[in-house]
Structures are given as C-alpha cells and as structure tokens.
A and B are shown apart, each in its own frame.
Chain A
Amino acid sequence: MSLVHLTINGENKSVEVPPMKRLLDVLREDLHLTGTKEGCGEGECGACAVLLNGELVNSCLIPALQANGTSLCTIEGVSTEGHLHPIQQCFLEKGGAQCGICTPGMILATQHLLNKYPNPTMEQIQEGLAGNLCRCTGYMRIFESVQEAAKLQNAGAGA
C-alpha cells in the first residue's frame, strides 16, 4: 500500500491504496467522486478524463502512485459556488449532453482545449475532443456547445 497525497478540486486528500490502483478507481471508490466515469478502461473513450496539473489525462491509465503530489480537477470541481461554469452552461443549453456518461470527460477536454486555444477552429475542436467517444449525440451539438463556450468565455474575459 502507498500513501498518496492529492489536491482534488482544491482540497487536500490522502488515501492509502495499492500503488498500481487506477486513479479512476481511487476517485470513484475511495473518494466517492463518481462524476468521473469508466467507459472502456483502456484510454479509448475519454469518459474518465480529468485534469492533472492542468493537463488532460485518462484517469484509467494512471497508477495512483504517479498521481502522488499532483493537483486534480474532476467534473465535481468545474462549477464553483453552485454556479455552472460557462462550458457546463453551454453543454446544457446547446444539447451537448445526452445520456451523460461522456459528458464529464467532454467538459474537461473542452476546458483543456479552451485553455490552449481560446478561439478554437473546428479542426482544433475535433482534435481536442477526438479522444472522447459519444454514442448518443452524433457530436454536432457537442461542437456547438464548445463553440458557444469559447464565445461566452471570451466575452467574459473582455468585459
């Protein structure tokens, strides 16, 4: 067993877990943060995506020990003080969420994308979200959600 220290959504947490335990399972089982989903368990679908030190990663492919000392953002940490983050607001309004399993990963991938490219082209959106599978929406509404979120964030930044 290894003692793993994490900063999750701004809070310091310590868990004692097998060092090879998947970060995904640490989040879902040990920390009860079930917003991070498992879709495939092999880094193909992006349902388990979280931000680790600001970088998008698939938490099913990260051994707990490798997350020691890192700062994580999960879907539970995206909205603040009961207010939806603009990305969440746009996924809600534009119909970017359907069954909801891919949604947390999509939103974190979008956050990562918009941090890199505040005004993403369609190609950049497609590439940024290429690792996130959705079996329901047909993707169009997700692209629209991302475009709208970029607009909203830029308007907010300019104001």
Chain B
Amino acid sequence: MHSDVTQFDLAAPPSLQAVLKQLAAEPGKHAPIAGGTEMMVALGAGRLQQRSLLSIQHLRELRFIRVEDRLLHIGSGTTFTDIRRSAEIAKHLPLLVQSASWTGSVANQNRGTIGGNICNASPAADTPPALLAYGATVTLVSASGERTMRYVDFHLGYKKTALRPDELLHSIHVPLVFGDHRQYIRKVGTRNAQAISKIALAAVAKVEEQRLADVRLGAASLTDRPVRCSATEAVLSGASLASDALEETIRLARAALAGETHAIDDIRSTARYRGAVAGNLLEEFLRSLAG
C-alpha cells in the first residue's frame, strides 16, 4: 500500500539546534530525513511511521570529515560520495572507502549519508562492517546534551538502535591506529553491482612474527544486525600463521565464526550459503596474511 504525500509534512529547520529542539519538544513525532535514499523508499512503500519529517540534509554542521586528536571524525551527514572523495579517509580507512563505493549507484551515493546507513540499521548495510572492524565510536546529540558510545553497542537488534527519539546521530569517530594493520573487505552481492549484500566481511589485523594480533572482524547479513565477531577475534588473537599451524588456525576460526553467527534463509540467499561463504572470506583473509 502506498502513502499519500499530502498527508506528510516536511520542514527544514535552519540549524542542528533547531532540529534537536523540535525532536525534544515532541519525542517520536518527527523523523529526521537526510539524503532520502531510504526514507523516500519507505514513504513509497507505506512503511514510514511518522507523518512529520525534519530535513537534516542541508545541515552543514553534520557534513564534515576531519582529523583531530588521532581520531578521524565523520559527520553523520557525510555522503558516500564525500567519503569516496576524501583523501583523509582514503589514507586511513580504505575499507570505508571501498564499502561506500558499493553502496547503491552513483546517484544514490550522491545523496545517501553514512548516518542514514547506520541509523537505518539494516543487517545488510554496507558501511557498518568496516566501522565495526575499525572499532568506531559514535556521538549522539540531543537538546539535553551529547553522549558517545562504542559503535558495536549501537545496534540492539533487527532495525533497533540505541538512538532515543529525541536524539540524532551526530558523528562517527575512528581511531587512527591502523597504519600497521593488514586490511580486508569483501562483499558478496546478489548481482555484480547495485546489489544488496548476501554477506560482507571486513577485517583488520596485525601480524607479528607470524602471529596474529589485534584482530577485528565486522560482518553484514550474518545475524539480525551488523555484527562484530568477537568470539572469532578471540580465537584468532595470538594464533599462528606459520605454515605448520595455518590450517589449524583457519579451522578454528571458521568454527568460531560459524558458532557466533546465525545467518538466515531469505529470498536473497540461504543460511548455508551465507555461513559457508563467510568462512571462505575469513579463510581468504587469513591466507592473504600468511602468504
């Protein structure tokens, strides 16, 4: 069923403070809309709950990329195109650039924002695996103040986040500590472009004397939310990549990954395929580190 646009209101308050004030005054009444690439689809499909929308697309305060205090700060209103064009992000966070490049088409990358991608909270979203692997933190703002939390704690369940109705995602922060890490990301889509992911895996790790250290894994479409694979990380921590130990490391890692993920069957793929390919991608990453 479809929505009648005449029944919806949209305002474009002049500042972030004005938006937050309105959200605080009537919590839950208004929905923020940035690039619209998800919200307008929801509108068309009749899935949009709120009748009042507040545009945040024009707020320059939310659209920035800067390095400060050994952290890379990305405003939630930063578009995928902004990310792909940023020299800073290319230098420090190549996995994020990669995931931005396969988020929809160029036209949608020109509008869609990283904040929208995160807050929409799809388990198949493209940028979360990279942000999870990078150990990002997020800052949420409201009229009453701001709070910063680990991004891994932001996703609470299927399409559920820690965001309160009076809050907006303000920015994402990634520590710039990956200069010595090996980095890996791969998405398996339903077709060769413009695809929703069947499974995606982002990984970073250090290799010291053929042993793994600081392994971080982020995945999409393996559970009800974007997920950090902590059990697998634990198994891999300190594991050996030496030729006589590599196969065992891979075996244990695959088992751990299978144990902590719960892929589902849907029209895009099957749980068995997702589970098997997730293991294959992890194995590809580990072999690339050993090789």
Residues from chain B with a CB closer than 8 A to the CB of A127 are: 101, 106, 193
A107 to B: closest C-beta gap in Å: 13
Q: Which of B5, B55, B104, B110 contacts A55 (CB 8 A)?
A: B110
User: Is B12 a contact of A130 with CB atoms below 8 Å?
Assistant: no
Q: Tell whether B36 is near chain A: CB-to-CB under 8 Å.
A: yes
Is the Cβ of A56 less than 8 Å from the Cβ of B44? no
Q: Within 8 Å of chain A (Cβ to Cβ): is B40?
A: yes
Stretch at the interface among A60-68, A76-84, A91-99, A145-153: A60-68
Interface size on A, residues (CB 8 A): 32
Residues of B within 8 A of A14 (CB): none
* Given the contacts A20-B53, A56-B110, A128-B106, A66 and B194 also touching, CB distance less than 8 Å: no
B106 touches A43 (CB 8 A): no
Among B12, B41, B110, B194, the residue within 8 A (CB) of A65 is B12
Give the docked Cα–Cα distance between A112 and B129 (Å).
30
Assess whether B6 is in contact with A61, with CB atoms less than 8 Å apart.
no
B43 CB contacts on chain A under 8 angstroms? 20
Interface size of B by Cβ–Cβ distance < 8 Å? 31
Residues of chain B within 8 A (CB-CB) of A109 are: 106-107
What is the minimal beta-carbon distance from A109 to any residue of chain B, in angstroms?
7
The answer to whether residues A131 and B107 also contact, given A22-B40, A42-B41, A63-B40 and a CB cut-off of 8 A, is yes
Task: Pick the residue among A19, A43, A126 that contacts B108 (CB under 8 A).
Answer: A43
Within 8 A of A (CB), among B203-259: none
| A56 nearest CB across to chain B (Å) | 5
Closest A residue to B48 by CB, please name it.
A20
Residue B49 CB within 8 A of the other chain: no
- B-binding residues in A (CB < 8 A): 2, 18-22, 41-44, 46, 49, 55-58, 60-63, 65-66, 68, 109, 112-113, 126-128, 130-132
**Can you list 13 residue pairs at the A/B interface with Cβ under 8 Å?**
A18-B5, A18-B8, A19-B8, A19-B10, A19-B11, A20-B53, A44-B194, A60-B40, A62-B36, A62-B111, A63-B53, A68-B12, A127-B106
